[in-house]
Every structure is written in C-alpha cells, then in structure tokens.
Amino acid sequence: MESIVAGIVAGIGGLLALGYAGLLTRDVLKQSPGTKLMADISRGIQVGAAAFLKREFRYLSVTTVVTALLLGIFLSWPGAVTYIIGSLVSFMAAWIGMRVSTRANARCTNLALKSFKDAFKAGFSSGAVMGMCVVGTGLLAVAVIYTITRDVHLLVYYAFGSSLTALFLRVGGGIFTKSADVGGDMVGKVEAGIPEDDPRNPAVIADAVGDNVGDVAGMGSDLFESYVSALIAAMFLGYYYKYNPTYASLMLLLGAAGIVCSIIGALLVRVGKGEQESFGAQTKKVRSAMSRGIILANLVMVITTFFLVRHIVGDMNVFFAMVAGMVAGVAIGWINQYYTSDSYSPVKHIAKSSETGSSTLIIEGFAQGMLSTVIPVAIVAAAIVASYQWGGLFGIAVAGFGMLSVLGVNLACDCYGPIVDNAAGIAEMAGLPHEVRRRCDALDSVGNSTAAIGKGFAIGSAALAALAWLATYMQAAELKIIDITKPDVMAGLLIGGLVVFLFIALTIKAVGRGAYRVVNEVRRQWQEIPGLREGKAKPDYAKCVDITTRAALREMIVPGTLSIVTPVLVGFFLGREALGAVLMSSLTVGLFMSLFMANSGGAWDNAKKYIESGAYGGKGSNSHKAAVVGDTVGDPFKDTAGPSLNILIKILGKVAMVLAPLLLALM
Amino acid sequence: MESIVAGIVAGIGGLLALGYAGLLTRDVLKQSPGTKLMADISRGIQVGAAAFLKREFRYLSVTTVVTALLLGIFLSWPGAVTYIIGSLVSFMAAWIGMRVSTRANARCTNLALKSFKDAFKAGFSSGAVMGMCVVGTGLLAVAVIYTITRDVHLLVYYAFGSSLTALFLRVGGGIFTKSADVGGDMVGKVEAGIPEDDPRNPAVIADAVGDNVGDVAGMGSDLFESYVSALIAAMFLGYYYKYNPTYASLMLLLGAAGIVCSIIGALLVRVGKGEQESFGAQTKKVRSAMSRGIILANLVMVITTFFLVRHIVGDMNVFFAMVAGMVAGVAIGWINQYYTSDSYSPVKHIAKSSETGSSTLIIEGFAQGMLSTVIPVAIVAAAIVASYQWGGLFGIAVAGFGMLSVLGVNLACDCYGPIVDNAAGIAEMAGLPHEVRRRCDALDSVGNSTAAIGKGFAIGSAALAALAWLATYMQAAELKIIDITKPDVMAGLLIGGLVVFLFIALTIKAVGRGAYRVVNEVRRQWQEIPGLREGKAKPDYAKCVDITTRAALREMIVPGTLSIVTPVLVGFFLGREALGAVLMSSLTVGLFMSLFMANSGGAWDNAKKYIESGAYGGKGSNSHKAAVVGDTVGDPFKDTAGPSLNILIKILGKVAMVLAPLLLALM
C-alpha cells in the first residue's frame, strides 16, 4: 500500500518536471531564431547534432538488443525488459534536451540583440529543459517499474540500461566534441590564422555540434545515470540492509521532493535588465542569480527532507546522510571552482607561468590539477565515514542521492553553458554587431564557471554512486568482506587502476586521431573549393560533421568494450572478491584522475581567457601562445577522458552487479 | 649455528663486493683527469656535489638523532641503534659511489680523446663502484646485525634508517637536479640562445652536480633501500610465516650469491676497440656489452639459486618465486625501454606529433605514458599472484628480492649514464674537438636507455618491496584481514591515493620554485659580472650550486614530512586497518604514477633527441621547438616526482611497521 502511494507520488513528481519542461520549451520556441543566416547556422547545428545522435542510436540499439537477449537468456527476461526501458528512457531524455538546446542557441543570440535579460532567460530555460527531462523521466520510470513490480532487482537492470546509453553518449560525444574542436583549431587558428568560429572554417559547425552532443547530451545522460543509480542503489540497500521496504518508499518521495525544490530553484533564477551595464556587472548578475536558485533549492530540500524522514521512517540518521551528501556536493563544486576560476590564485599562477613559456605553464597546470584533487577527495572520504556512521552502506547510498537530490536545477546551470557558448559562436558566424558578441560572452563566461561546479557534482556523485554500487554488488554476490591481503584481491586492485589508465589513454588517443581526420578534411575543402579561403564560397559543413561522427563512433568501440569486458573477465578468472577490488580501485584511481583532468583542463582554459582579457600581454603575446598550448592539452582532459571516467567507474559496478548471480552459480 | 654460518658467508659476500669496488676505484683514479681546464671543471663538480651531500647530511643527522631518540624512548633502544646504522651505512654507500663518479667524469672525457674502449671502461667501472658499494655495505651490515643479535625485528629498524636517507637523497637530489637543469635551460637555451653545457652559463656546473647528486647518489640510496627492504622483508616473513629461521639464512646466502653473480656480470661488460666506427656501431657495441653482462649475471644467479634452495630448504617454491621476481624485473625493464627508446613506435609517434605543435606532442606523450603502465602493472599483478601461490606473503617478498638479486651489475649500468653524461658535458665546456664530444655522446645515448631499464627495476622492486612491507606491517599489527567494505578502510584507500597526488604536486612545484631561483641568479650574474656574456669573464658557478642546494633542501621538508606524518595520523585516528589500506592504495596509485611519469618523461626526452638526430626537420625546426617543450615538461616527471614516489611508497610501509606496536598498545 505504502509503496504504491510512494510510487504514485514519485510518478506525479516526474510528470511535474516534464510538464514544467514542456512549458519552458514552448516559451523558448516561440522566440524568433533571428535572420535567415542565423536560422541557417542553427539549423546546421540541429541537423548535425541530430544526425550524430541518430547514428549513435543505431549502434546503441543493436548493443542494447544483443545485451538484452544475453540478459534474458542467462539471467532474467523481466530484467531484460527493464534494461531496455532504462536504455531508451535515458536516450530520450538526452534527445529531447538536446533538441531544445540546439534550437535555443540562435534564439538566444537573437534576443541578445535587444535584451540581456531575455537572452539569459532563453539560455537558462533551455538548460532547465534538459535538467527537468532528466530527473522527470528518470524518476517517472523508476516509479512506474517499482509500483508495478515492487522488485528492486528489476530496477538494477533499469539502471544498467541507462549506463549503456550514458557510455555511448558521454564517451562518443566527448570524442566528437574534442575531435572537432581541436582539429578545427589546429587547422584554423594555428595553421591559417583565422579567428575562432570563423565561418570560412569548415569545422566550425562540427565544433558547435560537439558542444551539444558532448556537453549537453553527454552531460545529461551521464547525470541521468548517476541520478537513477544513486536512487536505485539507495532503494536496493534500504530494502536489503534495513529489511524494510519503507526505506525504498522514502527514497521515492525524496526524489519527488527534489523535483519540486528544483522547480522552485529554477523559477528563482532571473536577472533584471542590464543592457547598459559593464561586462563585469552583467556576469556578476548572472552568477548571483544562479547561486540564489541553487542555494534556495538546497535549503528547501533540507527542510523537506527533515520532515519527510521524520514522518516516514523516524530514523533521523537518514536525514543526516542526505545532508552530508548535499554539503559534500556543494563543497566539491566550490573547490573545483576555486581551482579553475581566474578569480583565484591557482589560475592566476598558471597564467603567470606562461611568461616563461608553455613548458612551465603545462607543469604548473599539471601540479595545480594534482593539488586540486586533495580537498575534494578528503571531502568524499569524510562523507563516506560520516554517512556510514549514520546508516551503513545504505547511508553512503543516501549521501550519493543527497548530492543529486536537486539535480534538476543543477543540471539546468550546467547545460546553460554550452547553449550560450553556441549563441556566442552564432553571433560571430553571422557577423552580428560587436555588442551582441560581448553580451553573449558575458553569458558564456558564467557558463564556464558553472561547468566547473557541474563537473564537481558529476564526479563526486559518480564516486558515491559507484561506491553504493559496489555495496549492492557485494550484497548480490554474497560477499561479506573483501580482503586485500589475498593475492587475487591485490591483483584486482592493480587491475582496477589499470583499466582507468588504459581507458584514459584510449580516449585521448581517440581524440588525436579524430582531430587528425578533421584537419585533413578542412585542408581538402580549402584546396578543392575555390574561393573558400576568401569567404566567397560556402564550405561543406555537413561533410565535416559526418567525418567527425564516423570517427567518434568508431573510436568509442574499444574503450566502451573495455568497460564491459573487464568485469566479466576478472569475475570469471579471478573471482568475486577480486572483482570487488577492481570496483574499489577503479573508483579510487578514477576519482583522482577525473578531478585532476577536469580541473587542470578547466584551469588551463581559464588561464588562457584570463590572458586574453589583457593580462601578461594579452592576445597575440608570447604568453598567450603558451596559454593556447595549455588550453589545447587540457581539451581532451576536461571534455573527453575526465568526464568519461565517471561513466567507466559506474558501469563497471553495474556489470559486476548483473554478473553476480552467474558468478555465484559457477562457484 | 646455521644462522651464524649464513651470516658469515653473507658478510664475506659483502666484503667481496667492497673489495671489488676498491679495485675498480683504484683503476679509475689512476687515470689522468686531462688538461687543467678539465680537471678544474671536474673539481667544481666534485666540490659542489660534496657540499650538497654534506649539507644534506647535517639535516639528515639531526633528523636521524631525533627519530632515534623517539624510537628508543617509545619502542626499543637496540632498534634505535640499528636505525642509526641503517641511516649511516646507506649514506656512506651513496657518498663513496658519488665521490668516485664525480672524479671519473673528466677522466672518462680524457680517455675519450684517445680511446673509445677505455672511456667506456672508466665510465662503467665507476658506475660499478656505486653498484658494488650499495650491495656490499647493504648485505654486510645486515649480516653483522643478524649474526650478533639473531633478531629480525632489529633489521626492520635498520631498513627504516636506510629509508630516511633515501628520502633525503632521492627527493632532495631530484629537486636539486631538475631545478638546476630546467632553470639553466630556461635562462640559457631559451632566453639567451646559448647552447647546452656552454661555460658562460653560471648554472652549468650546478646542472652537472645535479646529475651526480640526483641520478647517482639519489638512485644509489633509493636502490640501497629497496635492496635491504626486500632482503629484510623476506627474512622477516620467512621467519614468521614459515616459523623457520632457516629461511632467513637462505636469504642471506642468496644475497651473497647475488653479489658473486653481479661481479661475474660486471667483469663481462667490455667493449673492443672502436674509434673508427660509426656512432650507431659504437652504441650498439656498448648496448650489447651491457646486455651480455646483465643476462649472464641473471642466468648464473638462476642456477645458483636452484642449488642453494634445494640444498638448504628443499622447498622449490622459493626458487620459483625468486625466478618470478627476476623475470618480472627484466620484463618491466624491457617494456619501459620499448616505450622510451626511439627505436620503437611510441617515441616515433610522439616525435611525429611534433609536426602539429607542442600541444599534440604533449597529448601524445601523455597518452603513451598512460599506456606504458598497462603491461608493467599486469606483470606485477602476475608476479604477485604467482609468487603468492609459491609461498604466500613470504613468496611475494622473495620475488621482490629476486628482482634485485643481481642489483650490483644492474646499478652499475644505471649509474654509468650520468657519469658519461657529465663526461660529454665536460668535453663541451672544455672546448675539446668535436670527435670527443661525439664519442661521449655515443656512450651517453646508451646511458639513456639503461636509465629507462634501471627505472623499471627501481619501480617494480619498490612496488614488491612495499607489498612485502605491507605484509610485515600486518604481521606486526596483528591484522589478519583488511576489509574494504569498512568505511575507515575506504577512507584509507582514498587517503593513500591522496598522499601520492599531493606528493607529486609538491615535488613538481618545488622544482618550479627552485628553477625560478636559478633563473634569477643567472640573470643577476649576467648583469653584474662584466664580460661574462662574451665569454671573457668566469661566472660564479659555486654561487649557483649553493642557491640550488638551499632551494632543494628547503623544498624537501614538506614532502618529506608528509611521508612520515601521514601513517602516524592515519594510524592514530583511523586505526590499523585503515593504515593498511593507505599502504595498499599508495602502492597502487604510486606504481601507476611512477611508471607514467618515468616513461612519459623518458619518451619526450628521446623524442627530442630523435628529432635532433635529423627527423622532422632536425635541430632548430618548429618540430624541435615543440619537442623541447615536451622534454622540459618531462624533466620533473622523470627525474624528480616519478623516482621520489618509489621512496614514498616504501617509507609509508616502514613507518607503519615501526608504529605497529604502539598502535597495538593503544587499542
């Protein structure tokens, strides 16, 4: 009875989010996309992004069907069905969010012609569409499956399905976006000396498409996966460790509460008129609007959690664990911002080291990136110890969910970034007045710092979700302990780190090869299309998008396979305990490398922007040249390998979890 | 009785090594150091290196006395005494080896004027002095302590003492060498455009001193520590896990056998005359001479081990574990060479990526470095699983010792590198004919690839020694298992990785600051000493050495303290099990990062040399400029942070081991 009520409430919460997303979409789409040229550019991005996702969907659906058949034959047919649902729902959320974001960009640019306030609103609203779609569809599907089946095991298959989609979108999108970006820059900015976003560069649309498929769709599916993972792990462990389905119901209700709080938060993110204000004043306005929304959403959530927990289970430890997760998430986001924003000393140090050339800039960024892992990891360790005190492994899962409880509004702020980045690009490509570009840049510069916070959440929540997943694996594999003094466990710990290092190497090399193809294609077009270099002819943008798409999908296969095959091989050859060690070690090493790569990459990027704003000689100086090297090195770090690690560490746990019954049967 | 015989045999083995080192020293020193200019340069290096070691010794002796007092008061006075012995003996071995190497450099240059063969012999012989001093003093002291006390616990204190020295010499030396090298290059090659080793650069002697204190003394004390750690851990575990002191005696005899085999190997390393031959033919000769010596030493050692094990304990599993370690060591060395030598595709790829600029070169080197960890870690994992099968935790310790059993000859090849590097530098500084420089370069180029192999041994053996040390810690702390499902153990695993990342960041930043001081000093001298830039006046080399010395010693304090304080804090606040997790995790993360840093750094270095040999435009081309950036980034990776990690992971284990009784008492 109680579970049914909770399921219905959660379902209503999910629908509420989707309804709000629908309203926002209507508001955004009723705006004009501007001149024909602007609409054309936006259309090119839409078509390219959709083409990529469609082709990716073909690969994904084949993989999903094959895996579902295997799951059905060896494990469970109902599980195979929820697995497919997870894969599809996750894809759908990312698809809708990205469709809106690719339509919002030109509208945002066009609004920026007249009003700073309206341009911001369009950008943020379309970001919020992604945020609401992710939490809405995620929670709704969990509620429906749980209400109908009342079986937490089936939810695990659902989460596994969402992992597969996330793997495709995050890794494939990450390779796409950086192949286009790095390749385009290498041949455009460096070789031909034309500015960024110049319409004569055939890779410029592919670059904009990359922002959408990588940073919007990829980020969305990544956090969809984290969100449902954290939720389901908490439901599963609440069910098993507490021997009480009421805990599972509580998690569903907390999910619904989180959606309401996210909507409240999103409604509060508004800026006043500010056309005449300075760049600094505008960015400050945007930044404080977002902070206000996020902080209020969190505060309301804390209060709601307090009453829900007290009323439903009465065990206030659950409340403390939730709050520990929320505080940890905000703290990690803040630390990431400290290490990547040019308002603080780390980025300033890196920028200063550009004076002695690119080597010192790289070394300094490397060291700062390593350093930036220390406090976030300490926070994660503290959150683990604290939330375990308050509820064992279930407590850890609750903290993981707490970190993501108001994901709706957090993700809105994340996805806002690439949308306004696109808007600024369109202003450039369409040759709009300098004032428009400046307004878009003001919107964009905030996007960069929200990206750092967003990555912090993505990484922190991935670590806790992976940990919760390790706990569910142990439950399913009937492991009481994992003893590191056994040689197979030692080997497992080494293998866990090895997978992370191999995965990073593979994804980075994939970007290198992808960028190389883009470079060759751009060179070919410049050679073969007469008048292109002079701006008299139009390049074949679609061809560039197509080549990048093919490259990204091909390059995704090996790292993707690695993340699925490793647990299978370790499980069968070294056993259950070694597999647990692989999960723990990949989580540890992955957490460090993911923070390191996100923050060093972000810091190099902002050090370059800081120099471009006039420091150390500004644009064109030797310092700037050194900073460009750092920025390019950081690109695959922060946008390909780093974020892909979040998926890796989570998917290893789910494959292990799904395998567990087989491993037990083979004993 | 049996232990006494074994102790005496081992003592004789140690004396044999020292005697051989004495003969080699006599042979080297009776050569002429060449012209007055050459002798002066060599003298400058000697004085600078000795000054650094002396000042370091002052810090070291204070730390040693304070720690010994603490050990005496809280734990054991006899332990405090063997601790001091370990610290002193280790320092002495490094001191003697370095004194000879700093005298050998000019002699090697002078011999290269006339004979390639003799120059090689002088370089290799002085490398062998270090090799023999390390194994000779190491084994002799263990034999004496064990024969007198028959207490394996006291040996642990001895090993702990050697760790402290290694920490000072490896970390301090690593910071010194790269501060001088990077600082000197930045201001000399980059700013002033004068060639490397140009006598007008005031940092040029400091750079040569750095090779000796970092790569000779630092490497020597590092491997001294690994050698005695592996030996003592095997003796300790043989004693406790096998309940049989005969196993401890066996290890002593294997140590003596290893010395004899090392001497045989070293005697076989000779080249014929080759003055008229091409560069390629000369390097090939040197390379095959060294391979011959190492391979034969290993083969003889395998046979000797077989008979010793069969005769003394009859348990052939010990033989298999030894051989597993030997094979793993050679295999890791070979893989490292594959990833860092310009004869194979990884370095060629990196060199090729210089065509598209320094960013792609850095990214490619980064990815190759990550990739290079995969097989060595898999080898370590396989060695762990296999040797555990053959003898439990004792088997792992035996494998660790097996890897180092013929250290005498391996270390000779390692230390040969910096000596001939110095010789080449002296040829340049003294303005000798081009032919001499070319001969020295031929000798040096082999030194680079032996360095890669040597680093492989240092890393692999550090990992196994650290693992053996974890096992002895667990024995001492009465821990049966370490269960990663406990929150404090999870936190411990995160903290272990955190220490590694923090340590890397600190040592890299230390090099940055040290280099900055060197730059300022060189600029000052150029400004204040009239005629210096034109080569009419002599720079104040000693001042540069002094500044680098101060910087290195100051910068050493924080990372050094970190490695000692961390286990204390974790032990007291999170408990024994969490401390075990810290050891395991720092070992895992440290192994990856150490391999990654050594190999990416080595690969960038050799990619630059490959381009300098004429590929992709050769010296002065844009490709070369890009490669110089990579080389500079790699410098602190491969020569400071990477090697220092070996010490970190071993010292954590020893501090834990020494703390164990206190942690138990506080329970």
Contact with chain A for residue B356, Cβ under 8 A: yes
Min distance B624 CA to chain A CA atoms (Å): 14
Question: Stretch A115-132: mean pLDDT, rounded?
Answer: 91
pLDDT for the residue numbered B274: 66
A164-203, pLDDT tens digit by residue?
899 889 999 999 999 998 888 888 777 777 777 788 888 8
Spatial contact of B330 and A163, defined as CB atoms under 8 Å apart: no
Residue A644 pLDDT > 70, yes or no? yes
Window A:451-490, CB contacts with B under 8 Å: 467, 471, 474, 479-485, 487-488, 490
Using only C-alpha atoms, what is the Rg of chain A?
23
DSSP string of B597-640, one letter each residue = HHHHHHHHHHHHHHHHTTGGG-TTSHHHHHHHHHHHHHHHIIII
pLDDT for the residue numbered A1: 60
Residue A534 neighbours by CB distance under 10 Å: 8
Taking an 8 Å cut-off on Cβ atoms, the answer to whether B490 and A592 are in contact is no
Among the listed residues A226, A216, A122, A213, the one whose alpha carbon sits nearest the alpha carbon of residue A172: A213
pLDDT for the residue numbered A258: 96
B295-314, pLDDT tens digit by residue?
899 999 999 999 999 999 88
User: Residue B561 class from Cβ within 10 Å (0-12 exposed, 13-18 middle, 19+ buried)?
Assistant: exposed
Q: Using a CB-CB distance cutoff of 8 angstroms, which residues of chain B are in contact with residue A627? A: none
Question: Stretch B11-20: mean pLDDT, rounded?
Answer: 96
Provide the pLDDT confidence category of residue B275 given band limits of 50, 70 and 90. Answer: low
ipTM of the complex: 0.91
A361-392, pLDDT tens digit by residue?
999 999 999 999 999 999 999 999 999 998 88
Contact with chain A for residue B591, Cβ under 8 A: yes
Provide the pLDDT confidence category of residue B202 given band limits of 50, 70 and 90. Answer: confident
Min distance A117 CA to chain B CA atoms (Å): 38
B84-121, pLDDT tens digit by residue?
999 999 999 999 999 999 999 999 999 988 888 888 99
A404-415, pLDDT tens digit by residue?
999 999 999 888
B562-616, pLDDT tens digit by residue?
998 999 999 999 999 999 999 999 999 999 999 999 999 999 999 998 998 888 9
Q: Which two tokens stand for residue B256?
A: 């003596």
Look at B305 and A393; give whichever has higher pLDDT: B305
Contact with chain B for residue A187, Cβ under 8 A: no
- For residue A487, report the phi and psi dihedrals to the nearest 5 degrees: -65, -35
Min distance B584 CA to chain A CA atoms (Å): 8
Which residues neighbour B343 within 8 Å (Cβ) at sequence distance 6 or greater? none
Which residues neighbour B427 within 8 Å (Cβ) at sequence distance 6 or greater? B109, B112, B436, B437, B440
Contact with chain A for residue B72, Cβ under 8 A: no
Taking an 8 Å cut-off on Cβ atoms, the answer to whether B632 and A580 are in contact is no
Tell me the CA distances in angstroms from A208 to A177, A347, A553, one per residue in order. Answer: 8, 26, 18
Residue B368 pLDDT > 90, yes or no? yes
Taking an 8 Å cut-off on Cβ atoms, the answer to whether A519 and B356 are in contact is yes
For B208-232, letters b (16+ CB in 10 Å) and e give bbbbbbbbbbbbbbbbbbbbbbbbb
- For residue A471, report the phi and psi dihedrals to the nearest 5 degrees: -65, -40
Contact with chain A for residue B290, Cβ under 8 A: no
Beta-carbon-side half-sphere exposure of residue B467 (alpha carbons within 13 Å): 35
Contact with chain A for residue B385, Cβ under 8 A: yes
For A352-389, letters b (16+ CB in 10 Å) and e give bbbebbbbbbbbbbbbbbbbbbbbbbbbbbbbbbbbbe
Residue A143 pLDDT > 70, yes or no? yes
Taking an 8 Å cut-off on Cβ atoms, the answer to whether A592 and B591 are in contact is no
Contact with chain A for residue B569, Cβ under 8 A: no
Domain assignments of chain A as residue spans, ordered by start: 2-665
Mutate to test the interface with A, among B359, B394, B473 (most CBs of A within 10 A): B359
Chain mean position to CA B41: 25
Query: No. of H helices and E strands in chain A?
Result: 21, 0
Residue B391 pLDDT > 70, yes or no? yes
Question: Stretch B148-156: mean pLDDT, rounded?
Answer: 90
Tell me the CA distances in angstroms from B470 to A362, A467, A586, B660, one per residue in order. Answer: 35, 25, 21, 11
B437 three-class SS: helix
pTM of the predicted model as reported, rounded to 2 decimal places: 0.93
Q: Which two tokens stand for residue B452?
A: 């890669």
pLDDT for the residue numbered B422: 87
Min distance B214 CA to chain A CA atoms (Å): 20
A343-367, pLDDT tens digit by residue?
899 999 999 999 888 888 999 999 9
Contact with chain A for residue B276, Cβ under 8 A: no
User: Residue B446 class from Cβ within 10 Å (0-12 exposed, 13-18 middle, 19+ buried)?
Assistant: buried
Min distance B131 CA to chain A CA atoms (Å): 31
Question: Stretch A519-534: mean pLDDT, rounded?
Answer: 87
Percent of chain A with pLDDT over 90: 55
Percent of chain A with pLDDT over 70: 99
Provide the pLDDT confidence category of residue A479 given band limits of 50, 70 and 90. Answer: confident
C-alpha B586/C-alpha A370 separation (Å) is 15
A492-502, pLDDT tens digit by residue?
999 999 999 99
Mutate to test the interface with A, among B366, B384, B479 (most CBs of A within 10 A): B366
pLDDT for the residue numbered A77: 93
Look at A67 and B452; give whichever has higher pLDDT: A67
pLDDT for the residue numbered A274: 66
A31 three-class SS: coil
Provide the pLDDT confidence category of residue B1 given band limits of 50, 70 and 90. Answer: low
A463 to chain B: closest CA residue = B494
Calculate ∠ Cα B181-B187-B188, nearest 5°. 80
B407-428, pLDDT tens digit by residue?
999 999 888 988 988 898 888 8
pLDDT for the residue numbered B615: 87
Which residues neighbour B70 within 8 Å (Cβ) at sequence distance 6 or greater? none
Of B393, B483, B589, the CB nearest to A497: B589
C-alpha A664/C-alpha A661 separation (Å) is 5
C-alpha A92/C-alpha A103 separation (Å) is 17
Taking an 8 Å cut-off on Cβ atoms, the answer to whether A373 and B474 are in contact is no
